[in-house]
Amino acid sequence: MKQKWIKFLLNSIINSLLYSIIIYFMEVKLEPLRFVFQALFFGFFMGFLQVFGISFLNRNNKNKQ
């Protein structure tokens, strides 16, 4: 379980950085606080989906086979 939390944190950080880079190069005009909040929000939920959501979906799929 500890390994999943570490993977979750790393995925969240990577997704937040990628989102920030994409928004920066698309030259979207946002307030700095809103920009940081959106990047953290996106990274958190994408990391959660990648670590916990997809493994949960695959587990259910394996049980049906």
Whole-number pLDDT of residue 9: 87
pLDDT in tens, the chain (65 residues): 788 888 888 888 888 898 888 888 888 887 888 888 888 888 888 888 888 777 766 766 665 65
- pTM across the whole model: 0.72
| Helix 32-48 / helix 2-25 crossing angle, nearest 10 deg | 140
Question: Are residues 43 and 12 in contact, defined by beta-carbon separation less than 8 angstroms?
Answer: yes
Domain boundaries, the chain: 2-64
For 52, half-sphere exposure in the C-beta direction (CA atoms, 13 angstrom radius) is 12
